[in-house]
Amino acid sequence: MGEEDGGWDGREYLPQGTVGCVALDQYGALCVATSTGGLTNKLPGRIGDTPTLGAGFWAEEWTESVGSPLRLRSPASSLFAMLPLGVRHVVEDCYVGLSQDTAFGEDKNSSRGVRAVAMSGTGNGDSFLRTAAVRTAAAIARFSPCRSLSSAVTQIAGPGGELQQSAGDRWGKTGEGEGGIIGIELVDGKGKIVFDFNCGGMFRTWVDDEGEEHVMVYKGKY
């Protein structure tokens, strides 16, 4: 395609690679989509992190107590809620004289609220696959006491995080372990933008609550 066609002239920077999008609508629904050009010179048949659920993209929501000291549920109560109904009854029978909520640390007088997370990742696909990066971040936020998605994303994709550690002594040599994650966390009906990365920069943009648009590449604002 020539210059007269309005296409790329070969002299300007050509953005390419992963494109991820996380969206929160007015009803509190979160969704995520990710697209990528794939790994350069990859072997035929290789499936990367982008189309792999839990590695390159993830969205999840759950309910938890609102207005009590146990705002974030314990791992035991969260896992209990995921059990099939029949199995729950069997487990409840092991706690004679106790209600389900009391047995698993829930405040019966507290109300329930929805918490949700959605993330998209970019970087070295093998590292994201090895660590199940975005699903692991979601699990940290959901099952660890008093952990925000922001801190979970930093634990996975921030400097010295799980992605970097997964590269071992290969870090800084082949690009292994490098990457970043963007996402949104919904708590009590309010969304919060989160992101972190362990490489030189990560192109990202978002719209805040006031409708203001933001564009960043590096860690600090400029």
Instruction: Confirm or deny that 189 is annotated as ligand binding.
Output: no
Burial of 189 (0-12, 13-18, 19+ CB in 10 A): exposed
The full DSSP string for 139-168 is: HHHHHSTT--HHHHHHHHHSTTSHHHHHTG
Contact 154, 103 (CB under 8 A): no
* 34 labelled ligand-binding: no
41 is in an annotated binding site: no
Asked if residue 123 belongs to a known ligand binding site, the reply is: yes
Is 124 annotated as ligand-binding? yes
Choosing from 18, 34, 50, 131, the catalytic residue is 18
Rg of the chain over Cα atoms, rounded to whole angstroms, equals 21
In whole angstroms, what is the distance from residue 169 CA to residue 125 CA?
A: 18
Residue 28 assigned as binding residue: no
User: CA-CA distance, 182 to 41, in Å (whole number)?
Assistant: 26
136 is catalytic: no
Tokens of 146: 């008093």
Residue 125 annotated as binding site: yes
The answer to the question of whether 156 is labelled as a binding residue is no
Binding residues for substrate: 46-49, 122-125
Binding residues: 46-49, 122-125
> What residues are annotated to the active site?
18
